[in-house]
Structure formats: structure tokens, C-alpha cells
Amino acid sequence: MLNIILMGPPGAGKGTQAVTIADEFGIPHISTGDMFREAMANKTELGLKAKAIVESGGLVPDDLTIELVKERLSRPDCANGYLLDGFPRTIPQAEALAKIGPEIDRAVNLVVNFDCPSDVLVSRIAGRRVCPKCGASYHIVNMKPKVEGVCDRCGGDLIQRKDDNADSFKVRLDNYYKQTQPLLDYYQGSGLLHSFDGTTNPKLLHDQVADLLKAHR
């Protein structure tokens, strides 16, 4: 069983790898952002609580986030594994996941991390363009759409996110490293962490990760 946490800074290629890994190994890709949006849209009890907090401008507290994660991982489609993206972000969240995972027979057994130098990340993000309709991601140099400014997948107009400019991104990146380094140390100590070079060609990187997953399946 593959119960995986996917980690790495924004721009390291997590999104691209997550889709291919989930498809190849037949496990759900669980993004915490998508999870929140689904719970709010479905008006579940937890979703309504989260919506009230978000709409008031607050941050969703750990206990509510953890309950949402627990509910999502408890579903039948996670019985044979899952790929968790965007959670945990802090040591308390990791400790909570370490507790609830075994309770619902969904204990994490692999943490896959992508390392990437800051200058490479800034270059990648500044050139990123996304489709607000379907979420597809492109790059003005490395991954151009077939028609400039138009999504290959759904035909939507591509945009640059407000926080994808270089200055804003550097702030996000600093915050990520401050939050995440303790988590990497935490999972390194547990023997679950496996790090890969995020600058590797995407196809080769996928093959490297897939070899690891096949060895643990």
C-alpha cells in the first residue's frame, strides 16, 4: 500500500508529478486546496465551518484541517493508498497525521520531497501561466501551450497569478522554507523521507520516483 505525502517548494514540479503518479499507481491525488473547496461546495458540516472562517478572513485552524483530512482519507477510494499534497505543513499537523493515520488504517509510509534551488524556482514561477477554468499549468519558455495564451485542455484564457511575480514569490518561498525545513527533519528522523532533484528532466524524475514506489508497493 502506498500512503504518500508529496512535498517540495512551489515550482518544484509537484503538480505535474502528482498527476502522473496518481494515474500510474491508481491512487487518489488529494490536494488540501481541492479538499477544502469540495467540502465547502458540498456543504458538509466541516465544510460549512471552514467556509465561515475563510469568508470572515481567518485562517482555518489545525484541528478543523485535520478533521477534514481524516474524513477524506477515510473514504473507500483511499483503501489502497493515496497521495497527499499540501498537508501537513507544520510539525503539529504531522504529529496529528501520525496519530490519525493508524486509527483509520491509513498510516503514511512514504514521504517524497523535491529539492530545487531558489533561483530556478523563481525563474519557473515568474514564467508560469495557469488556466483558471481547469487548473492546467504552462510556462512561457519551458512548456508553451499550442496557441499562445490559450489552454490546450479546455480552451480557457491563460493568466499569471498575482502572487507568481518574482517579488511576491520570493516572500512565499521564504515562508515555505521556514515552515517546511522542520518537517523535512521530522520525516528524515522517522526514516520515511526520500528526496529527489527537482531540476531533473520531468520524465526522468517521474521514472526515479516510480522506481521508489514500485519497491514499496
Known catalytic residue: 161? yes
For the chain, the C-alpha Rg in angstroms (whole number) is 17
The 8 Å CB, 24+ separation contacts for 98-105 are 100/66, 100/69, 100/70, 100/73, 101/3, 101/73, 104/70, 104/73, 104/74
- Residue pair 63/71 in contact by the 8 Å Cβ criterion: no
Which amino acid is located at 66 in the chain? I
Place of cell 470572515: 56
Q: How far apart are CA 3 and CA 72, in angstroms?
A: 13
Whether 106 is catalytic is no
Exactly one of 75, 144, 161, 217 is catalytic; name it: 161
Residue 133 annotated as catalytic = no
Cell numbers describing residue 169: 514569490
14 is catalytic: yes
Catalytic-labelled residue, pool 14, 51, 70, 106: 14
CA dihedral 158, 163, 164, 169 (to 10 degrees): -170
Taking the C-alpha atoms of residue 166 and residue 14, their distance in angstroms, rounded to an integer, is 19
Which residue is catalytic, options 37, 49, 89, 170? Answer: 89
Catalytic residues: 14, 89, 128, 161, 172
